[in-house]
Amino acid sequence: MKLNIIKILPLSMIALGALTLPSCKKYLDTDLLSSVSTDAVFSSVTNTQSAINGVYNQLTGDQAYGIRLSLYFAQSADDFKTSGSKDGGRRDFSMFCVNPANTELANPFNNLFAGIERANICIKYIPKSDLYTKGNASQQTSMKKMYGEALTLRSMFILEVLRNWGDAPVSLVPSSDVTNLYIPNINRDSLYDHVLNDLKTAEDLVPWRSETGDPATKISKAVVKAMRARIALYRGGFSLRGDSKQMERRSDYKTYYQIAMDECKDIMQKNENGLNPSYENLFKSLHTSSNSYVADNANEMMWVVGASTAGGLANTDTKLGYYNGIKSASTTLGTGGGGITAIPTYFYEFDSIGDARRDVTLAYIQIDNKDQKTLQAADAMTDGKFRRNWTNNSTAQYMEIQWPLLRFADVLLMYAEADNEINGTPSSAAQNALKRVRDRAYAGYLDREPAIPTSHDGFFNALVQERLLEFGGEGIRKYDLIRWNLIGAKINETRTKLTQFADTTGLNSGRYANVPMVIYAKTNAFLNAAIPQEMSSLTLATDAVGGTGPVAKVYFTPSPITTAPTGYTAYNWRKQIKVATYLNDANQGYAYYFKANFSELLPFPNTAINTNFNLVQNPYYGQ
């Protein structure tokens, strides 16, 4: 393997730190340790913390969850996609035409391996430190906690490698201990099993949040357990195998579903994490530079990737809200957004009246250069959970908006999924876990909440749908569909829905019955208010004289208007979607190049293949 993938990192790099909680305003630990020996680093609690901060640092920045892992790699399912046409770079991920020479492939790949290497160094040397076994009680507690953090961080990097590339050349020791740097593909099952054992060890080392006394705790015992549950579901799920070149899951998969169920149950019973009663405020809590910061007092955001303007923006901050989010041309609120767009039919997956998640998840307005809001066409809706107007940065590309890695809602739905699979039908506890998530979404409209199925298949299908609605735009959906072996089926289903959506003749039946061809609206001042107030202030024409009506009515009712009333603008809705371009254009068609038993994995970048003669490329790439 090439040396700059699993190299020994200078201690000055290890010293770089990153933040992972929205409430934490300490910035980077900039003490450089380049002149200190490795033994000296891990003989000091302070220096060891600097080394651990350096591992955290690999989560953020442009090459990690600052933009590429979060907004390029993951946005290619039935919720969102990158905007624009294929370009040999970021837009190819959504179209499933990434090749080994893709310009956005190598740096994130190397960044993940650098994170693994940094964690490997900590994992080797922390237990060897005298402080770990002979220090005073406080020192031993701190060193053991940091050892558990290193194990957990490495598990996150390895999960990202395995779910994107499958069997990969992962080393579990520092590169200084590797006799042959040309590491071959390592079986993913063995790596998953190793990580699951690591996390079991970490559970005994990392305290619960309530036991730390530190509100800025990054990784708590609940995070370790939730990561173990998530990885167990990947281990027990489907993946594309290099030998058979087929999507398969192992016969012992229920063993891993049992792990997931047990871990989630422990978190739920501890009751240190809950659901934020406001779905909107949950995501506002990620915007740490907000003028009106909203705390997540329920601790639903269990683990987030921190963001800081200190330490070099491209390395320590994110472009959330600038690359993605509401499209804005405002000189006061800031410009940007629109890099991620919604699949038009995703709007209609939500209950039209009761589900509060739709108007948070989907931004179907944009802001012009006069701070006026206008509607978007059906193919230009954007993701809405990361909004620059929720911060106080007016022009910056980097705004300290954080990326969610784990939420308690995910714990509830993982528990429900595992319970259903283990028992063959959902227990009352599994049904209640699903209902807790739905109750928050349908607050004030519980009578519209769907019935919870009691059969195995019905409940599983309900969970598949619920995770689509709950986690839209959070980089989860694509990987869920792959581990369920549903991604091909859901892409085909979505293409069928889009064809129906674009059909101008079949307006009288189905989910898209009476969906309007055009929507007429007035330009309004952007209020920068709470989402329900912002959306209720839209002026939408629902009849020939330009009366106003609720969004639910306008988007489900064909307008009799053929010419825009005075003061109104026509915005293409159903009329905007053309099968020839949105689906069948080789340069921009939705998931145009997806192939089952091929597209589920990314190719290894050419730089890795060309410098490691033992590394085997994933099936069919370059063949």
Phi/psi for 257 (5° steps) reads -65, -35
Tokens representing 75?
A: 């946005």
| Cβ 237 vs Cβ 166: under 8 Å | no
Phi/psi for 567 (5° steps) reads 90, -5
Mean pLDDT for 408-428 is: 98
Candidates 588, 613, 618; CA nearest to 602 is 618
Statement: residue 153 has pLDDT above 50: yes
Mean pLDDT for 185-206 is: 98
pLDDT in tens, 199-255: 999 999 999 999 987 766 799 999 999 999 999 999 999 999 999 999 999 999 999
Dist. CA 511–CA 115, nearest whole Å: 46
CA atoms 203, 476, 155, 44: torsion sign? negative
- Residue 261: count of CB within 10 angstroms of its CB: 27
Cα Rg of the chain (Å, integer): 24
Scan for tokens 């919720």, then name that residue: 79
Q: What is the pLDDT of residue 30?
A: 31
Q: Which amino acid is at 479?
A: Y
| Cβ 324 vs Cβ 340: under 8 Å | yes
Candidates 279, 263, 170, 167; CA nearest to 223 is 263
At 547, the pLDDT band (50, 70, 90 cuts) reads: very low
Domain extent listing, the chain: 322-402, 518-576
**Kind plus residue range of the DSSP H or E element containing 428:** helix 428-441
pLDDT in tens, 353-383: 999 999 999 999 999 999 999 999 999 999 9
Statement: residue 260 has pLDDT above 70: yes
Dist. CA 268–CA 51, nearest whole Å: 32
Statement: residue 292 has pLDDT above 60: no
Mean pLDDT for 54-79 is: 96
Q: Which amino acid is at 152?
A: T
Q: How many CA atoms lie within 13 A of 82 on its CB side?
A: 25
- SS3 category, 618: coil
Mean pLDDT for 29-49 is: 71
**What mean pLDDT, rounded, does the chain reach?**
90
Candidates 93, 201, 86, 109; CA nearest to 152 is 201
CA 67 vs. chain centroid, Å, equals 11
At 514, the pLDDT band (50, 70, 90 cuts) reads: confident
Pairing of strands 334-336, 328-330: antiparallel
Q: Of 255-264, 294-303, 499-508, which range is least confident?
A: 499-508
Q: What is the pLDDT of residue 2?
A: 34
CA distances from 510 to 354, 359, 503, 506, 608 (A): 20, 23, 12, 9, 49
Burial letters 380-418, b for 16+ CB under 10 A, else e: bbbbbbbbbbbbebeebbbbbbbbbbbbbbbbbbbbbbb
Q: Of 248-252, 275-279, 382-386, 504-508, which range is least confident?
A: 504-508
Contacts 24+ apart (CB under 8 A), 158-163: 158/116, 158/191, 158/195, 159/195, 159/227, 159/230, 159/231, 159/234, 160/69, 160/112, 161/109, 161/112, 161/113, 161/116, 162/188, 162/191, 162/192, 162/234, 163/234, 163/239, 163/479, 163/482, 163/483
Statement: residue 565 has pLDDT above 50: yes
DSSP letters spanning 481-512: HHHTT-HHHHHHHHHHHHHHHH-SS-TTSSTT
At 289, the pLDDT band (50, 70, 90 cuts) reads: low
Statement: residue 450 has pLDDT above 70: yes
Between 152 and 623, the more confident residue is 152
Q: What is the pLDDT of residue 80?
A: 97
At 623, the pLDDT band (50, 70, 90 cuts) reads: low
Question: What residues have CB less than 8 Å from 334, skipping those under 6 apart?
Answer: 322, 328, 388, 389, 393, 394, 395, 396
Statement: residue 7 has pLDDT above 50: no
The model's pTM is 0.93
Scan for tokens 């890695």, then name that residue: 405
Mean pLDDT for 452-478 is: 98
